[in-house]
C-alpha cells in the first residue's frame, strides 16, 4: 500500500528526525569516548563513561530502533519498495546490521561504566581508554547510509525489474 503524499511527507519528516538524531547522538558519544581516552583525570574518565552509558541507552538505542522502524515504513509505503532498488535494500541491511552491533555492544558499555563508578581514582588516572572503534565505525556506516539515501544510485534488483515489467504489461 502506497502512502498518500501528505502522509508520506510526514513519515519522511519523522524518519529523518530519528535518523539525524541518531547521527548527532553518535557524534556526542564519540566526543565522550575521545574524552575518556585523552583525559588524565579520574573524574573526567568516570564522567565520560557514565555519559556514554546514558547516551547509549537513553538516546542512541531508541533512535536506532525508531530509525529502523520508520525506514521500514518508508520503504514499504512508497514506490521505492524494500526489495526493488539496491540502494534501499543495502541501506536497510546496513541499518539493521549496525543496530544489531549496537544492541550487542551497549551492555559492555554499561559494564565498563559500572566498573569506573567503583574504581579508585588512582586506577583511573591516566585514562581508561574509550569506545572509539564502535562509535567511529557506527558513524561511518551512518554517513554511508545517508549518502546512499541522498544520491540514490541507480540499479534495480531482479525483483524490481520483474515488478516493473509486470506493471508495464498491465498498463
**What pLDDT sits at residue 147?**
97
Position 169 in a domain: no
User: Cα(63)–Cα(85) distance, rounded to whole angstroms?
Assistant: 25
Nearest Cα to Cα of residue 22 among 98, 123, 121:
98
**What pLDDT sits at residue 83?**
93
Position 88 in a domain: no
Position 130 in a domain: yes
Position 162 in a domain: no
Nearest Cα to Cα of residue 59 among 101, 102, 16, 92:
102
Position 140 in a domain: yes
**What pLDDT sits at residue 9?**
96
Structural domain count of the chain: 1
Position 157 in a domain: no
Position 167 in a domain: no
Domain range enclosing 51: 5-82+95-151
Secondary structure (DSSP) of 113-170: HHHHHHS-HHHHTT-----HHHHHHHHHHHHHHHHHHHH----B-HHHHHHHHHHHHH
**What pLDDT sits at residue 112?**
92
CB atoms under 10 Å from CB of 73, counted, come to: 17
Per-residue pLDDT of the chain (171 residues), as tens digits, is: 789 999 999 999 999 999 999 999 999 999 999 999 888 888 999 999 999 999 999 999 999 999 999 999 999 999 889 999 999 999 999 999 999 999 999 999 999 999 999 988 888 776 666 789 999 999 999 999 999 999 999 899 999 899 888 888 987
Amino acid at each position: 500500500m502506497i502512502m498518500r503524499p501528505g502522509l508520506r511527507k510526514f513519515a519522511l519528516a519523522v524518519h529523518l528526525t530519528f535518523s539525524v538524531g541518531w547521527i548527532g547522538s553518535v557524534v556526542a558519544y564519540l566526543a565522550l569516548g575521545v574524552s575518556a581516552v585523552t583525559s588524565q583525570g579520574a573524574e573526567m574518565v568516570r564522567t565520560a563513561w557514565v555519559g556514554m552509558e546514558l547516551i547509549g541507552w537513553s538516546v542512541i538505542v531508541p533512535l536506532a530502533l525508531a530509525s529502523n522502524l520508520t525506514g521500514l515504513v518508508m520503504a514499504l509505503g512508497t514506490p521505492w519498495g524494500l526489495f526493488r532498488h539496491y540502494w534501499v535494500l543495502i541501506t536497510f541491511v546496513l541499518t539493521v546490521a549496525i543496530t544489531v552491533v549496537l544492541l550487542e555492544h551497549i551492555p559492555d558499555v554499561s559494564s565498563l561504566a559500572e566498573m569506573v563508578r567503583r574504581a579508585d581514582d588512582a586506577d583511573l588516572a591516566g585514562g581508561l581508554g574509550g569506545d572509539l572503534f564502535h562509535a567511529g565505525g557506527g558513524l561511518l556506516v551512518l554517513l554511508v547510509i545517508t549518502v546512499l539515501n541522498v544520491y540514490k544510485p541507480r540499479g534495480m534488483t531482479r525483483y524490481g525489474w520483474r515488478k516493473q515489467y509486470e506493471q508495464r504489461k498491465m498498463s
